[in-house]
């Protein structure tokens, strides 16, 4: 078979993956704390026809393309003001630290940029799936039921009014990793550690390179629809061009078959 046919097939597969990533980005355009994905390609191995000599260049034929990476673009999303005390946004680097159960460990601890939190029937701060929001000591955070009011500062400190004796000091934790793009998406706006993300370090907001906490606001998705639709057109045309390669290669093969009648 012609090499060009297999090159076209590899290109079609890659552009299909690119369209899958674009579709996921568009589907999550209004997901709080969502970070868009990006695909990159690289060429496959080239077939050596002749090597380089004195005064002559090597002759090589490429055999198509392959997927190089699917990156998570962790740029800052815009903060939308809600005025709700339990809506928290991070202005800068870092993630909220949440745990499915306590005591927390690497298996049940997750990172998230989505800051829409709630109070459960015990007054613990939880996300939409019931995962506990952790403080800087990796303990769950609690607002007493008899509290008259509470507020969360830019440094993550929780101020509770109307409770005697005063509850222990709590600080919302901001977690950081060495390589944020190495985190694995776990669904539900959550990330988990991977072998390439590095270990989790817990910081007070605004310290250790961690971003500040913004109470009464939520971070929106960093998906730009105009950019995604442009990339969709590029992927569509790239897919069509590769199908054309296969069509032309098939016509050439048909001519070869018809040489003997």
DSSP state of 182: G
Q: Let me know the angle formed at the C-alpha of 213 by 128 and 197, rounded to the nearest 5 degrees.
A: 75
Q: Per DSSP, which regions of the chain are E strands?
A: 37-43, 46-50, 59-62, 65-72, 79-81, 88-91, 95-99, 109-112, 118-119, 125-126, 132-133, 149-152, 158-161, 174-176, 184-187, 190-192, 201-203, 212-215, 217-219
Residue pLDDT, tens place only, 44-88: 888 888 888 888 888 888 889 999 999 999 999 999 999 999 999
Given this model, what pLDDT does residue 255 score?
A: 87
182 burial type by CB count under 10 A (0-12 exposed, 13-18 middle, 19+ buried): middle
Residue pLDDT, tens place only, 177-190: 999 999 999 999 99
Q: Which residue has the tokens 């496959």?
A: 44
Take residue 118 and report the two structure tokens written for it.
């709630």
**Spatial separation of the C-alpha atoms in residues 126 and 119, rounded to whole Å:** 6
First-to-last CA distance in the chain? 20
Q: Which residues contact 88 (CB under 8 A, 6 or more apart)?
A: 96, 115, 117, 152, 172, 213, 214, 215, 217, 218
Sign of torsion, CA 218 220 222 226? negative
Residues in the chain predicted with pLDDT less than 50, given as ranges, are none
Given this model, what pLDDT does residue 75 score?
A: 92
């Amino acid at each position: 078979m012609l090499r060009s046919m297999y090159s076209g097939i590899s290109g079609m597969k890659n552009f299909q993956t690119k369209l899958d990533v674009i579709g996921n980005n568009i589907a999550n355009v209004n997901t709080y704390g969502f970070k868009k994905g990006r695909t990159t390609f690289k060429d496959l191995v080239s077939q050596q026809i002749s090597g380089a000599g004195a005064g002559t260049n090597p002759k090589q034929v490429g055999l198509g393309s392959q997927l190089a990476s699917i990156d998570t673009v962790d740029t800052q999303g815009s903060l939308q003001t809600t005025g709700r005390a339990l809506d928290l946004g991070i202005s800068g680097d870092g993630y909220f630290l949440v745990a499915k159960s306590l005591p927390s460990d690497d298996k049940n601890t997750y990172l998230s940029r989505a800051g829409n939190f709630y109070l459960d029937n015990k007054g613990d701060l939880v996300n939409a799936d019931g995962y506990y929001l952790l403080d800087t000591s990796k303990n769950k955070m609690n607002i007493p039921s008899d509290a008259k009011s509470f507020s969360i500062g830019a440094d993550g400190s929780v101020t509770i009014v109307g409770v005697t004796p005063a509850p222990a000091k709590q600080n919302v934790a901001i977690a950081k990793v060495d390589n944020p793009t190495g985190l694995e998406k776990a669904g539900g706006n959550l990330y988990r550690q991977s072998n390439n993300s590095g270990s989790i370090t817990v910081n007070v907001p605004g310290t250790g390179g961690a971003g500040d906490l913004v109470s009464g606001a939520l971070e929106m998705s960093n998906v730009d629809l105009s950019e995604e639709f442009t990339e969709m057109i590029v992927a569509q045309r790239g897919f069509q061009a590769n199908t054309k390669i296969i069509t032309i290669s098939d016509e050439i093969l048909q001519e070869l078959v018809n040489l003997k009648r």
